[in-house]
């Protein structure tokens, strides 16, 4: 978990012609919340986001989905902005769908769920901000 090479490979290279895809679990329509501005940043850097929030129809110009299972694609990354108690169910769904990368945002930790994800072959980054890590990897 959190190995630098996992962070680099998870973020990967992306272009407008071949964007990496991120399912943002818990994306809020409130622009002051980290899930919103972090996702907007990732969009601006050629990532295609898929909001996962059953309470809203769309956010950041993208249709919102109720769950990972409802997505029309298999995303490269599941980026979690939910409380630690929700992570085990997210991991269960990711395992069922065969999703490759779990990214749990800074300040959110559930080590048991992370260990289960890794045991199932999912790469895990936990308690790190995807935007901050992207900035560290992007030449200025």
CATH ID of 4-111+128-137, from 1.10.940.10, 3.30.70.270, 2.40.50.140, 3.40.50.720:
3.40.50.720
Residue that is written with structure tokens 């907007």 in the block = 40
pLDDT tens profile 12-32: 877 777 779 999 999 999 999
**Side-chain half-sphere of 16: how many Cα atoms within 13 Å?**
1
Q: How many CB atoms lie within 10 A of CB 9?
A: 12
What percent of the chain is predicted at pLDDT more than 70? 99
Structure letter (DSSP) for residue 79: E
Beta strands at 77-80 and 47-52: parallel, antiparallel or unpaired: unpaired
pLDDT tens profile 86-133: 999 999 999 999 999 999 999 999 999 999 999 999 999 999 999 999
**Rounded CA separation 39/61 (Å):** 11
Sign of CA dihedral 63, 69, 70, 71: positive
Residue 140 is predicted with a pLDDT of 63
Average pLDDT for the chain: 94
pTM score of the predicted model: 0.94
Q: Indicate the angle between helix axes 130-137 and 34-44, nearest 10 degrees.
A: 30
Backbone angles phi, psi at 66, to 5 degrees: -75, -30
pLDDT tens profile 40-93: 999 999 999 999 999 999 999 999 999 999 999 999 999 999 999 999 999 999
Q: Please state the domain extents for the chain.
A: 4-111+128-137
């Amino acid at each position: 978990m959190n190995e630098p090479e996992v962070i680099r490979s998870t973020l990967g290279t992306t272009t407008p012609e071949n964007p990496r895809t991120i399912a943002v679990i818990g994306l809020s329509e409130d622009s002051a919340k980290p899930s919103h501005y972090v996702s907007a940043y990732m969009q601006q850097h050629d990532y295609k986001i898929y909001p996962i929030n059953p309470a809203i129809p769309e956010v950041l110009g993208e249709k919102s989905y109720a769950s990972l299972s409802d997505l029309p694609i298999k995303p490269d990354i599941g980026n979690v902005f939910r409380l630690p108690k929700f992570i085990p169910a997210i991991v269960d769904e990711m395992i069922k769908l065969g999703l490759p990368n779990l990214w749990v945002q800074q300040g959110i930790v559930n080590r048991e769920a992370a260990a289960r994800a890794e045991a199932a072959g999912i790469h895990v980054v936990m308690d790190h901000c995807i935007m901050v890590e992207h900035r560290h990897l992007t030449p200025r």
